Amino acid sequence: MDLYSRRVVGWSMSDTMQAKMVSDALLMALWRRGKPSALMHHSDQGSQYTSDEFQQLLKPRTSPAA
């Protein structure tokens, strides 16, 4: 969700909870918002969010405080 516009900017659906689902949602959000230079990410720390696949996508785009 983009907190400024309050719009959902990335989503993905799957029959299973896997890292690919959250990675796809993040890539969609980045594509729809024009690949911002930095972003803030908040999650419930579920296993799909802490996966190596997702963290590799997230790491170069977030500030240390995010």
Question: Which range has highest mean pLDDT (2-6, 12-16, 32-36, 44-48)?
Answer: 12-16
- Contact call for residues 9 and 32 (beta carbons, < 8 A): yes
Single out the residue of 24, 10, 13, 12 nearest to residue 54, CA to CA.
24
The pair of three-digit structure tokens given for residue 2, joined into one six-digit string:
């983009």
- For the segment 4-31, the average pLDDT, to the nearest whole number, is 86
Query: pLDDT digit string (tens) for 27-37?
Result: 888 888 877 77
Q: The pTM is what?
A: 0.71
Query: Any idea which residue has 């949602």 for tokens?
Result: 25
Query: pLDDT digit string (tens) for 37-59?
Result: 777 777 777 788 888 888 888 87
